[in-house]
C-alpha cells in the first residue's frame, strides 16, 4: 500500500446498523483540520468571554498567532488530541458517513451515536481515521482479588514508524 493509502486506511470500511463508514479522502482530512481549528477558536472565545476587554483581545490575538503555526495539521499533537476526543467523534463519524450518504446531517450522525454502541462506533471511526486502540497496562499490580485494568488508549498511527512499533509491540510482522 502507498503511504496515502496507509494514512487514509484506503480499502477499509466499517458498518454500523444501516450505514457504511468509508475511509476519509483528502477532502475529509482538510475539513477535519479546519474543524479542529474552529473548535479551538470557539473554546478560546468561550473562555475569554468573561474577561476584561484588554485580556480578551490579548487572548484572541494569541489564539490567532497560535493558528499561524498550523498546530492542528494532521500528525500534530494538537490534531491527534482533538481527533481522539469525544467532542470530535460526531464530526469524524459524519465525515465518514457522508461519503456514501451525502444527505446525512451532523445531527443525524450524532443521533447514531446515541442509538447505537458509541464505544464500538468510536473504535471503528478512529480506526478508519488511522488511530489504533491500544490496551493500557495497569500502573501497579492490582490488589489481591481485584481485576486488572483494561483501559483503552488511542494512539495516532503514522505509517510506517507507528505501524512498525505497533507490530513489534503486538508480535506481528509487517506485511
> What would the pLDDT profile of 96-107 be if each residue is shown by its tens digit?
999 999 999 999
Which grid cell is 141? Answer: 499490580
Range of the domain at 47: 11-130
The helix, strand and coil proportions of the chain, stated in percent and rounded to the nearest 5, come to 55, 10, 40
Specify the pTM. Answer: 0.67
* Gap between the Cα atoms of 146 and 82, Å rounded: 33
pLDDT tier at 156 (50, 70, 90 boundaries)? Answer: low
Whether 136 shows a pLDDT value over 60: the answer reads no
Domain-located, residue 142: no
| Domain-located, residue 55 | yes
The residue-averaged pLDDT of 151-159 equals: 47
What is the pLDDT at residue 138? 53
Distance between CA 24 and CA 15 in Å, rounded?
Answer: 14
pLDDT score at 77? 92
Give a yes or no: residue 118 inside a domain: yes
pLDDT for residue 151 is more than 70:
no
- pLDDT > 90? residue 12: no
pLDDT at 27: 94
66-75, 96-105, 132-141, 144-153: segment of lowest average pLDDT: 144-153
Answer yes or no: is 89 within a domain. yes
pLDDT at 75: 86
Residue 86 belongs to a domain: yes
Would you say residue 31 lies in a domain? yes
Domain assignment present for residue 101? The answer is yes
Question: How far from 32 is each of 8, 65, 84, 88, 138, CA to CA, in Å?
Answer: 13, 20, 12, 9, 33
Q: Is residue 169, in this structure, part of any structural domain at all?
A: no
Report yes or no: 167 and 157 within 8 Å, Cβ to Cβ. no
The number of folded domains in the chain is 1
Q: Give the span between the Cα atoms of 85 and 76, in whole angstroms.
A: 14
Range 125-141 average pLDDT: 71
| All cell numbers assigned to 113 | 451515536
Average pLDDT value for residue range 44-55: 92
Amino acid at each position: 500500500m502507498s503511504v496515502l493509502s496507509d494514512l487514509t486506511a484506503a480499502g477499509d470500511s466499517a458498518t454500523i446498523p444501516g450505514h457504511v463508514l468509508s475511509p476519509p479522502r483528502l477532502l475529509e482530512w482538510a475539513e477535519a483540520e479546519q474543524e479542529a481549528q474552529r473548535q479551538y477558536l470557539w473554546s478560546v472565545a468561550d473562555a475569554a468571554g468573561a474577561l476584561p476587554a484588554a485580556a480578551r483581545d490579548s487572548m484572541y490575538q494569541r489564539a490567532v498567532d497560535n493558528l499561524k503555526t498550523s498546530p492542528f495539521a494532521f500528525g500534530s499533537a494538537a490534531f491527534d488530541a482533538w481527533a481522539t476526543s469525544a467532542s470530535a467523534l460526531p464530526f469524524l463519524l459524519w465525515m465518514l458517513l457522508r461519503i456514501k450518504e451525502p444527505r446525512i446531517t451532523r445531527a443525524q450522525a450524532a443521533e447514531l451515536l446515541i442509538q447505537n454502541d458509541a464505544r464500538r462506533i468510536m473504535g471503528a471511526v478512529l480506526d478508519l481515521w488511522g488511530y489504533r486502540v491500544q490496551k493500557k497496562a495497569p500502573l501497579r499490580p492490582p490488589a489481591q482479588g481485584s481485576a486488572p485494568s483494561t483501559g483503552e488508549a488511542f494512539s495516532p498511527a503514522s505509517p510506517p514508524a507507528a505501524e512498525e512499533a505497533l507490530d513489534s509491540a503486538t508480535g506481528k510482522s509487517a506485511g
